[in-house]
Structure 1
């Protein structure tokens, strides 16, 4: 659910705005411009978090590029109900230009879907073309949010984490195994990823009343 758009006054939407603010103030030395969002396993809400965070940043007047870097099981296009005929994979393969593959969802939010699922996702994401593309995007957008696959499932998030400024790890209350979450953190740290924080998703706020519950969860979707 795109709660920032559909329910802008809800506690969940406000929680995403709090996440936006926390990211903006997470570093004094350099801007958190490229942000990777991932999870330990599937079904923890990492794509829901990516999409709503992008909306929250865009509504604050920032130019935002949301990239679906899950070249195995993409879902960003489904959430925004846009075409996935052309996307990141098509751009990196040289089959189309960014201008033709991207979708301006609003004045400040540009979306690049995953595109055609390639036979070699990890190699494509690790390519010089990907690094060059991100470097070029830095000069155009204030924030670039990368929605990546789960860490434990594939190496893609580890590869991408070396190219970004910060990583957010999404963990779902009652779903994520504690050991799996720890393993995901270790895998990211093994490549010196800058983990700037984690999002605890789908917390039972009824049991946390009086404990600023709305700031500890960011959605109720069961999709990636």
Structure 2
């Protein structure tokens, strides 16, 4: 599914469609997986680029917002961000400006056309993304977000191409691994899981994307 199509689908919302039902099921599965645990910040990543992690992040966040919970998406892909395109938002300011203290958090979080859902876009691409994501400022930003929102979804880069995903995942309460059917070999998935285990990241579950039904 292209980003332009997703943007239209998110804004117009097809509550009875198969796709919407799939994301409601994903929401229920996440709820079941974290039942009894205080998990508020959930990173969404993939082994390789192009597996649909940004689409999954946006869509499951919409599914949560439909339950009237306060939801925030943070685009922590400071190299190739997507959330501003998916929701049709400005990317002039965002996470990068918040982490470098050029903007306050309240100034960079943007409302969407979906009730209860707000987005912190990536902002201008910085020269030092890994350092910003690993900073104390990022830790503090996540803690502040947890105070303001019921659940926070973090869109991160893929695991096997950049260290950024592991840096952010280690600061999150848990991670969801997105896999595109027919794209990633088993050994790559095992390496991705091993990397998350090494970083002592709690794996909530995995999403098999682009399945031919």
Q: Is TM more than 0.5 here?
A: yes
TM interval, shorter chain, is over 0.9
**Structure 2: gaps of 5 or more residues:** 1-5
Cα root mean square deviation, aligned: 1.2
Q: Name 1:189's counterpart in structure 2.
A: 197
In structure 1, C-alpha distance between the alignment counterparts of 2:106 and 2:142, rounded to whole Å: 14
Task: Check whether the contact 2:108–2:120 (CA below 8 A) recurs between aligned residues.
Answer: yes
Task: Check whether the contact 1:39–1:150 (CA below 8 A) recurs between aligned residues.
Answer: yes
1:50-199 aligned at under 5 Å gives the runs 50-105=57-112, 106-199=114-207
Task: Check whether the contact 2:78–2:96 (CA below 8 A) recurs between aligned residues.
Answer: yes
The structure with more helix, counted as a fraction of residues: 2
**Structure 1: gaps of 5 or more residues:** 206-224
In structure 2, C-alpha distance between the alignment counterparts of 1:187 and 1:100, rounded to whole Å: 35
In structure 1, C-alpha distance between the alignment counterparts of 2:162 and 2:15, rounded to whole Å: 34
Task: Check whether the contact 2:66–2:115 (CA below 8 A) recurs between aligned residues.
Answer: no
In structure 1, C-alpha distance between the alignment counterparts of 2:173 and 2:103, rounded to whole Å: 27
In structure 2, do the counterparts of structure 1 residues 122 and 160 end up closer, same or farther at CA, with 3 Å as the change threshold?
same
* TM-score, normalising length: structure 1: 0.88
Task: Check whether the contact 1:24–1:32 (CA below 8 A) recurs between aligned residues.
Answer: no
In structure 2, do the counterparts of structure 1 residues 31 and 22 end up closer, same or farther at CA, with 3 Å as the change threshold?
farther
SS at match of 1:25: helix
Q: List 4+ stretches of structure 1 deviating above 4 A.
A: 2-5
> Does residue 16 of structure 2 align to residue 9 of structure 1?
yes
Q: Name 2:3's counterpart in structure 1.
A: none
Deviations for 1:124-156, whole angstroms, at most 9, x for unmatched residues? 001000001111111110000000000001011
Deviation at 1:166, TM superposition (A): 1.2
> Does residue 19 of structure 2 align to residue 19 of structure 1?
no
Aligned residues: 205
SS at match of 1:135: helix
* TM-score, normalising length: structure 2: 0.93
